[in-house]
Structure 1
Amino acid sequence: MKTLFLLLLFFVKSVSAQEKLEVYFDFNKSEINPKAKIKLDSLIASKKKIEILKIYGYADSVDTKKYNDSLSSKRAKNILNYCKEKNISISNQFEIKGFGEIHSQSKISDENRKAIIFFKSILAQKSKPNPNNSENGSFDSPENQEILNQFLASEKSISEKFKNAKIGDIIIINNILFQINSEKLADGSLQIILDLLEYLKNNPKLKIDIHGNICCNRNTNDVKLSYRRAKFVFDYLIKNGISTSRLGYKGYGSANPIYKIPEKSYQEELANRRVEIEVIEN
């Protein structure tokens, strides 16, 4: 009964509707230990009703600052990977950080070796097309799901796309997809942005411009939606540690289609509705 009571406490809502769960790690370890898994699995039991907002990793003050920065980041990433393996919903505005030893250190060392998972309760909602908005194609119809799966399966990884890239090259990223007439990400698209973020961190000389493109719109002057989508990617990268001096963004609407508008097939819509990355400096 005591255990059940403690588990229920993890899900008591805060005033702001944002909740958090703290899990602790063994000394000098980033792997999730059994006690932490019990807490996480309790959270995962409500996976249809929660969304992960942020994961922050921390370390004690033993060892060097550089080592502790790395250790805290690994702890946060391992929590993220565990949540993704369990199909937990990840927010479009998701943030992940490792704070190392730079935080309010507890006198009890064990309490400093932790990760904090911030989450909120969610209700399932379905997006509905609006005929007055700028992008209305057939891309969310159920019969096209297999076509979409095949389209995305053919995509190369970020590292493969950027391999041998030169200044001025335009790299097409088809698997950053958005909800209908929205800059909110479609399911499964966050991972490719996380991959882009990691690539930028590992290649600090790389500078890019982010280009947003839409499909299905004859009005080439209607760039608002594509602009917001490009800005979403820009903001996410900035929020997670990439300098503004390395990034730019622009929305092109339907002015640069790969296939002539109106598109003749669902595949053509997918190809036109894309994010592009221009290499500015490498």
Structure 2
Amino acid sequence: MKLKYIIFFFLIAIKLFSQKQVEVFFDFNKDFPNTSSILQINEWIAKNKNVEITKLIGYCDSIDSKNYNKKLAERRIESTQMLLEKSGLKFNKKLEKIAFGKDFKQYKVQSENRKVTIFYVELETESVKSELTRKIKNAKIGEHITLPNIYFFNNSARIVPKSDPTLIDLRCAME
């Protein structure tokens, strides 16, 4: 019984630590990301299309009042979420949005405090194996495999373009 609990908590710990994060920075008193952060986040989005956003945490620097900074952090979270939604990223149904304002351990450099931290998990991609892939994987040495839908131009070695899907499938199976 103890072993089951240990395995259960181990799996939960793995799930918690599998979350990754990226930071988006803002200029003073602005609720839209600065130019360098927009470039960085666009590059990140291009590389990470298969992720799910789980949490957004907004921060501000120590200038201005506590309430103003909390509202500014909320606006920064909203603008970041809007930017991510427009790019087509998925959000967790239980998305957490936390606005700290200036109630957190501040960095000495104020510009490092003006940010939104995006927490995300990578989604598992389901590999769809075709019938041809299964045939190749299960084939024994010396066994013949028939390639369906391979067409040639008039008794030549040139392949007709409509054969491309089968050839692509074959290439994927051989990798």
Give the TM-score band, short-chain normalised.
0.5 to 0.7
Which region of structure 1 is more displaced relative to structure 2, 15-24 or 56-65? 15-24
Note the alpha carbon deviations across 1:221-245, whole angstroms, 9 max, x for none. Answer: xxxxxxxxxxxxxxxxxxxxxxxxx
Q: CA RMSD in A?
A: 1.7
Aligned to 1:270: none
Q: Provide the TM-score with structure 2 as the length reference.
A: 0.60
Q: How does 1:94-133 map to 2 (within 5 A)?
A: 94-124=95-125
Aligned to 1:57: 58
Change (3 A) 1:98 1:15: closer
Aligned to 1:133: none
Note the alpha carbon deviations across 1:80-129, whole angstroms, 9 max, x for none. Answer: 0000011101112211121100011011111111110001110246xxxx
Q: Is the contact made by 1:47 and 1:89 (CA closer than 8 Å) also made in structure 2?
A: no
Q: How does 1:238-277 map to 2 (within 5 A)?
A: none
Aligned to 2:43: 42
Which residue identity lines up with residue 105 of structure 2 in the other structure? S
Q: Is the contact made by 2:21 and 2:118 (CA closer than 8 Å) also made in structure 1?
A: yes
Helix, strand or coil at the partner of 2:27: coil
Q: Is the contact made by 2:50 and 2:89 (CA closer than 8 Å) also made in structure 1?
A: no
Which residue identity lines up with residue 86 of structure 1 in the other structure? S
Distance in structure 2 (CA, Å) of the matches to 1:48 and 1:17: 17
Deviation at residue 46 of structure 1 after TM alignment = 3.2
Give the greater-gyration-radius structure (CA): 2
Note the alpha carbon deviations across 1:34-86, whole angstroms, 9 max, x for none. Answer: 11111211221134321111111100110111110111111111100000011
Helix, strand or coil at the partner of 1:45: helix
Helix, strand or coil at the partner of 2:32: coil
Q: Is the contact made by 2:56 and 2:96 (CA closer than 8 Å) also made in structure 1?
A: yes
Which residue identity lines up with residue 63 of structure 2 in the other structure? V
Q: Is the contact made by 2:76 and 2:116 (CA closer than 8 Å) also made in structure 1?
A: yes
Helix, strand or coil at the partner of 2:120: strand
Note the alpha carbon deviations across 1:194-253, whole angstroms, 9 max, x for none. Answer: xxxxxxxxxxxxxxxxxxxxxxxxxxxxxxxxxxxxxxxxxxxxxxxxxxxxxxxxxxxx
The question of 1:84 aligning with 2:89 is answered no
Relative contact order (C-alpha < 8 Å, sep 6+): which is higher? 2
The total of aligned residue pairs comes to 112
Helix, strand or coil at the partner of 1:78: helix
Q: Provide the TM-score with structure 1 as the length reference.
A: 0.38
Which residue identity lines up with residue 111 of structure 1 in the other structure? E
Q: Is the contact made by 1:56 and 1:98 (CA closer than 8 Å) also made in structure 2?
A: yes
Q: Is the contact made by 1:57 and 1:72 (CA closer than 8 Å) also made in structure 2?
A: yes
Aligned to 1:66: 67
Note the alpha carbon deviations across 1:166-194, whole angstroms, 9 max, x for none. Answer: xxxxxxxxxxxxxxxxxxxxxxxxxxxxx
Helix, strand or coil at the partner of 1:32: coil
- Please list every run of 5 or more consecutive structure 2 residues that lacks an aligned counterpart in the other structure: 1-14, 127-175
Identity %: 32
Distance in structure 2 (CA, Å) of the matches to 1:24 and 1:76: 11
- The structure 1 segments of at least 4 consecutive aligned residues displaced by more than 6 Å after TM superposition are none
Aligned to 1:17: 18
Distance in structure 1 (CA, Å) of the matches to 2:32 and 2:122: 27
Distance in structure 2 (CA, Å) of the matches to 1:15 and 1:38: 28
